[in-house]
Amino acid sequence: MDYALQQLLNALAFGAEYSLVALGLAVVFSIMGLVNFAHGEIIGVSAYSVFLAAALGLTSPIVAVLLAVVAAALAAVTFERVAFRPVRYAPTTTGLLTAFGVSIVVQNLFMLLISPKPQSVSILNSLNQMWFFGPFAVSSLQVLELVVSGLTILALVLFLNKSTLGLAIRAASRDFATVRLMGIRANRVIATAFAISGALAGIAAVFILARRGSVSPDLGFGLVLKAFVACVIGGFGSLAGAAAGGMLLGFIEVGLLVALPQEYGGFKDALTYVIIVALLVYRPEGLLGQRIELGDKEI
Amino acid sequence: MLTVENLSVRYGAVAAVRELSLELGRGELVALLGPNGAGKSSTINALTGLVTPTAGRIVFDGRDISRTRTEDRIRGGLTSTPEGRHIFANLTVGENLRLGAATRRDPKGVRADTDRFLALFPVLAERYTQAAGTLSGGEQQMLAISRSLMSRPKLLLLDEPSLGLAPRIVAQIFDFIGQLKTEGLTLLVVEQNATQALRFADRVYVVSSGALRYDGPPAKLADEHGLLNLYLGG
Amino acid sequence: MSESAEIMAARPSDTAPRAGNPQFHRSLVGGLITALPVVAIGLTILAFAPAYYTHLSLAAFVNLIIVVGLQVFMGNSNIANLGHSAFVGIGAYGVAVLSTPLAMKKLSIPNAPFGLALVEFNPLLAALLALCVVGIIAAISGKIISRLSGVAATIVSLALLIIVHSVFLNWTDLFKGNQAFFGIPKVINLPAMLVASVVVIVIARLFKDSRWGLQLRASAQSPQAAAAFGIDARRLRLMAWVLSALICGLAGVLFAYFAGTISPKLFYFQQIFITLAMLILGGMATVTGAVTGVVVLSIGLEFIRSIESGVTIAGIQLPQLLGLSGVALGVVIVLCMAFRPGGISGRLELDEQLSRLFRRNAR
């Protein structure tokens, strides 16, 4: 029973983290059709900012958390301004490849300017402790992941449903031109979407740092690949789908960890992807996705 | 109010609009007629800035807005209800109206305007918290026009308000357009449905193949059978 | 040419290309013209270059074949493929497992399953069998990918890369995992590589100009119009995917046969980055673009790598700049996408550019 609860918490915590990252991808994709492969490098910028600040003498974990979130949001907005704006109205493939290019550039800049090797960051280690509830031992980090992700998603839902800018983002996900006809500035809507996407990545970066205690150039890359897969199973562009897909991914991974014998543990990632691709055979549009309706006259 | 000089729009090798010049006086309702593919929607989109014209000058309310961004044109008092309505189907009726007023900073005025349109179109009040995508075509058109008016424009461009609607609804929409004119709003109405568009129009432009074919009062257009045929024959 | 005209020309009722068909001839000659610069470069290296450069150029030719293979899918379907190195890896590991001498296998993979530790095929047969495996895996993955929308297809191509890489790493009995797989017979030299490159370039060009290639390009541009003409885009995407995979698999086979030693990380993101940047820089719409991108970036990267490893300029030893080539690759992709999405060659093949040039001069 204890073991089952522990694995459930594991799955929820993994799932929550994937959901956060997948939501960041989906927010940007839904409004501008950009498949942001550089999302992992936003996590990277966030983590390296904390690393640099700690190297310069920062000791407060709270400041480090704030720094991580702010740095990530700024990085996301900067990427948009510098690299993605020129291809804003270009075909999806063009944007996707641009983002892939940005990802390569930033990853290699970490190597070039800091080091190709992992660097230790201990400032957030205090987030990762064991908490004891009577007979149960629980990782504080997993509880935090679950609670913070839940609250963040709640805040995002409120923002998207209550604020004018949030409504504009939702409207823009279907019909950007008409949002501009409301006099709402396209640049502002897109910058906000990127800032949200970045902030979500920054929160994920905090969790990664607390768990791994180190930064490396490809820190966010693998996580973002999984988040993409979460988006695809959820239905690309659907926010609810991204969150659900992330959770599902967490459960599949933990399920495989439990089910696979020790010596086959290395196949966990491969099998995760196989399961997901198999799901796509039955639902090519994803769990919560819709067939894209073509043929609406563009304005 | 609006002066357009020698406007041209090209999509690659295709010329959609050729050296079109238009003039709208304050409080006028002008109809822009023409067959399918005549360049009417391209003209409207050039006026709102959603497409960039290859040549020409647009002066609105005394300012040259040829290079102004769409958002700033709307903020300057020019707005458009696009062809096919383009209501935000995933948002509620209320949220659609709220986005229409996104540029305004007077909550009281916004509420008053909202109440006014809800009184005018009771169906919008009934469906206020429902997704706008569930409205019928005519209701969506009422919402789309109301949404445009929420920004309190000086000039409203209406692109094919009758598209795909039953004749009774079309008449109702045009009654409303006529009412807007009497309230002093300047309107440019793009239409294929000539009968309705000519009911309240002060003047008519006819375009075909991207160029201007007629410019004058509606009464004369009805006389000139050739022009009417040209336009109806499409 | 207007879109609809192109689609009209691509109607399924057209006859299949065959010898004697003028279009087939034009494509064949066009493909050979496109391959000419490659042949010229290859012969120059054979005649004059020292051994070190011969080795470098062999690697560049492998990249060329991969990029041409990538072009077959990406250029015609306009869907980004980020998983093609999976097939390169399967081709390379396929021949490694099948053709490595038994004495070597005793050392490297004594516990290989299915009795594979006890077989040794001749290199040609091994290559054919490896390509069969590539074809089967491509057909299965292609079945799935061709059903998905563009973005989802790209993500699944990535998933495929990760799955295959993970199998190489973890199926240690068969693939030696993280360690280098050595002892593969070195049977490929530069002339053989040259011939393979020319053949692949011509095949890619013939596919592009075939009715299938034309239909696929038409459906990528305007899916509904193409569907209205009865074009089955899924089947065509599948076809392009399998052909692309086979060409990439061939590149892997050739790589294994000239290098003699392979390891999983060779067929992972690094290779994806490089080959993708080559295709984008050259221009993915044409086979010429694929060739151009490989030539330009191979030379450029060699130059950057010499700086990267730390050079001495005017007596000052510069430090190692690891990551510089990666930054350069990424910048090439980003700048190309922003300012010249068509790449260097744009929409026309080399022979088309030449004939246009001559026509203009003749006037």
Per the structure, the count of domains in chain B is 1
Phi, psi of B190 (to 5 degrees): -95, 130
pLDDT digits over A102-150, tens only? 999 999 999 989 988 999 998 888 888 888 877 777 888 888 999 999 9
Spatial contact of B60 and B46, defined as CB atoms under 8 Å apart: no
CB pairs under 8 A between A and B: 75
pLDDT digits (tens, 9 = 90+) for A40-50: 999 999 999 99
If one counts the domains in chain C, the total is 1
Nearest chain B residue (CA) to A185: B71
DSSP E strands, chain C: 312-313, 316-317
pLDDT of residue C63 exceeding 70: yes
Alpha-carbon torsion, ordered A237, A108, A69, A190, to 10 deg: -40
* Residue the block writes with tokens 């590589």: C193
Q: Is the CB of A173 inside 8 Å of chain B's CB atoms?
A: yes
In chain B, residues with a C-beta closer than 8 Å to the C-beta of A186 are: 70-71
* Neighbour subunits, C (≥3 Cβ pairs < 8 A): A
- The domain limits of chain A are 2-218
Q: Which residue has the higher pLDDT, C111 or C127?
A: C127
Give the gap in angstroms from C-alpha C213 to the nearest C-alpha of chain A. Answer: 19
Section A152-180 average pLDDT: 92
- Which pLDDT score, from 0 to 100, does residue B212 have? 84
Structural domain includes residue C273: no
Q: Do A180 and B41 touch (CB under 8 A)?
A: no
Question: Is pLDDT above 70 for A227?
Answer: yes
C-alpha dist (Å) from residue A70 to A62, A190, A205, B118: 12, 17, 11, 42
Q: Is residue C347 assigned to a domain?
A: no
Check which CATH number belongs to the domain holding B229 and give it. 3.40.50.300
Per-residue pLDDT band for C317 (boundaries 50, 70, 90) equals low
Residue C137 scores a pLDDT above 90 = yes
For A5-18, how does the pLDDT look when each residue is reduced to its tens digit (9 = 90+)? Answer: 888 988 999 999 99
Q: Write down the pTM of the prediction.
A: 0.87
Whether the CB-CB separation of A38 and A106 falls below 8 Å is answered with yes
Residue A212: strand, helix, or coil: helix
- Asked if A183 and B48 come within 8 Å (Cβ–Cβ), the reply is no
A181 touches chain B (CB under 8 A): yes
Q: At C312, is the pLDDT very low, low, confident or very high (cuts 50, 70, 90)?
A: low
pLDDT category, C35, cuts 50, 70, 90?
A: confident
Q: According to the model, what pLDDT value does residue C199 have?
A: 94
DSSP-H helix ranges across chain B: 40-48, 70-75, 93-100, 107-120, 122-126, 137-149, 167-182, 194-200, 218-223, 225-233
pLDDT digits (tens, 9 = 90+) for C41-55: 888 888 887 877 788
Q: Is the pLDDT of residue B223 over 80?
A: no
**Which candidate from C159, C323, C341 shows the least CB-CB separation from A273?**
C159
pLDDT tens-digit map of C66-76: 999 999 999 99
Q: What is the interface pTM, i.e. ipTM, of the complex?
A: 0.89
Range C226-250 average pLDDT: 91
d(CA C233, CA B74): 42
Expressed as residue numbers, the domain containing B174 is 2-233
Question: Using one digit for the tens of pLDDT, what is the confidence trace for B121-166?
Answer: 999 999 999 999 999 999 999 999 999 999 999 999 999 998 889 9
Instruction: With respect to residue C53, please indicate whether it lies within any of the assigned structural domains.
Output: yes
pLDDT band at B225 (very low <50, low <70, confident <90, very high): low
Would you call A170 and B90 a contact, using CB atoms and an 8 Å cutoff? yes
Per the model's pLDDT, the better-predicted residue between A290 and C60 turns out to be: C60
Q: Is B45 on the interface with A (CB under 8 A)?
A: yes
| Nearest-angstrom CA–CA distance, A97 and A104 | 11
- The answer to whether residue C278 is domain-embedded is no
Interface of A with C in 98-137 (CB under 8 A): 98, 100-112, 116
Chains adjacent to A (≥3 CB pairs closer than 8 angstroms): B, C
Band the pLDDT of A292: cuts 50, 70, 90.
very low
Residue C295 located in a structural domain: no
Cβ-Cβ pairs closer than 8 A, A with C, add up to: 142
Q: Quote the pLDDT of residue C77.
A: 92
Q: What pLDDT is recorded for position C313?
A: 65
Q: For residue B30, what are the CA distances in angstroms to B190, B211, C76? A: 9, 17, 48
For residue C34, which of C276, C361, C299, C290 has the smallest C-alpha distance?
Answer: C290
B-chain CB neighbours of A298 within 8 Å are: none
Q: Is residue C342 part of a domain?
A: no
pLDDT tens digit sequence for A69-102: 999 999 999 999 999 999 888 888 888 889 989 9
